[in-house]
Structure 1
Amino acid sequence: MDSLAGRLLVATPRTGGEIFRRSVVLLLHHDEAGAHGLVLNKPIGAPVGRVLPAWQEHVSEPAQLFQGGPVGLDTALGLVRVPGGSHEDHSAPLGIRLLFGTVGVIDLDVPPEVVVPAVAGMRVFAGYSGWGAGQLESEIESSGWYVVDPEVGDAFTEDPQTLWAGVLRRQPGPLAWVATYPEDPTHN
């Protein structure tokens, strides 16, 4: 399978669990050794300032911590968008590593005033989502995830609760119908 880094994993209605139910995951890395990414639509409800006070005023709305996944919940990862930057020409500002297109990770140990002028969107995640070798491919094959292309605003949406349905709704053909799948199919 080709690398899926930079693409979205959208949970199918049958994907369960508190974190992955109706989740949208941005894959940051994917190769034969495994994959990792961030759940984009699960705000925790705690302000970023509770763990990273210097960054609170710089994060995109809603200015909350997001649960990036079930792995490494004691770690924080910053995701940013750098307009005009490109991972291909290595044009990232100091403290930012571009992963694909204009999206990258930020070193949260760097003082905000060093990197904030170059950033158009920022989100902070507690933990991340990870898969071992072959695990993600198996989950995709068993219809646990839809793999779709992202749009620029997906990672920094102001309304994360509607991201799952919104991403599905814009897909071509029958996949768009999944956006209307009821929370509880027994109430259909």
Structure 2
Amino acid sequence: MSKSKPKSGSILIAKPFLGDPNFERTVVLICEYQEHGTFGLVLNQTTHLHLSDVLDDIYAGDIPLFIGGPVEQNTLHFVHRMGALIPGSIQLQEGLYWGGDFDVVKSLLNTGQLPVQNIRFFLGYSGWSPGQLDAEIERDTWIVTECNTTVLFDTQPGDLWRTILRDMGGEYRVIANYPIDPRLN
């Protein structure tokens, strides 16, 4: 397996048996990859919370919150497919954006102009100090790849890790079928 270099918009897929419960079978979206460090959001760790549980001025219904990572879990982050509709958004790849004007997001949600399936909210984030992620990739901890926005938003979070690996084909398809605990196989 080749070791690709991550970049903003890349996906990190945790190798089986990673050994870190924060990242066990996770899919992480890299939002910022720079020499001063890396910022990412775990896409497939759900919570039992909704956006309205942490914000009083959201009336758009049950919008789920995800765990973006173990760092600063008192912060709220979001990715979306809405592009220029949300000023200040940063394009990560075709049809995938990070952040933007949160007052606009709240207004669009509350007026029904922002479909819930086009945005995801995260508590906390995943962070790596300079060189840390590169060292982890070199140790074969992560698979670095690209993934289309449709798969990221339209796949059930619990199926995302397996779906992306299976779609990659070849030896990755085999990894997708690794049991969580091989002793139980």
TM-score relative to the length of structure 2: 0.84
Give the corresponding residue for 2:46: 43
Q: Distance in 1 between matches of 2:88 and 2:138?
A: 34
The aligned residue for residue 97 of structure 1 is 89
Query: Which among 110, 113, 117 is matched to residue 117 of structure 1?
Result: 113
Equivalent residue in structure 1 for 2:31, among 28, 32, 36? 28
Report the AA paired with residue 70 of structure 2: P
Structure 2: runs of 5 or more not aligned: none
The corresponding residue for 1:80 is 80
Distance 1:52 1:108, change over 3 A: farther
Overall identity of the aligned pairs, in %: 34
User: After TM superposition, what 4+ stretches of structure 1 lie above 4 angstroms from structure 2?
Assistant: none
Question: Could you say which residue in structure 1 is the equivalent of 2:136?
Answer: 139
State the alpha-carbon separation in 2 of the partners of residues 58 and 6 from structure 1.
29
Return the TM-score normalized by structure 1. 0.83
**Greater CA drift, 92-101 or 108-117:** 108-117
In structure 2, do the counterparts of structure 1 residues 65 and 56 end up closer, same or farther at CA, with 3 Å as the change threshold?
farther
* Larger proportion of helix: 2
Instruction: Give the distance between the partners of 2:86 and 2:49, measured in 1 at CA.
Output: 28
DSSP 3-state at the match of 2:113: helix
8 Å contact from structure 1 (residues 72, 127) kept in 2: yes
In structure 1, the gaps of 5 or more residues are 86-91
Specify the alignment match of 1:174 in structure 2: 171
Q: 1:138-166 CA deviation, whole Å, 9 max, x = no partner?
A: 00110110011111123323510011111
The Cα shift of 1:109 comes to: 3.5
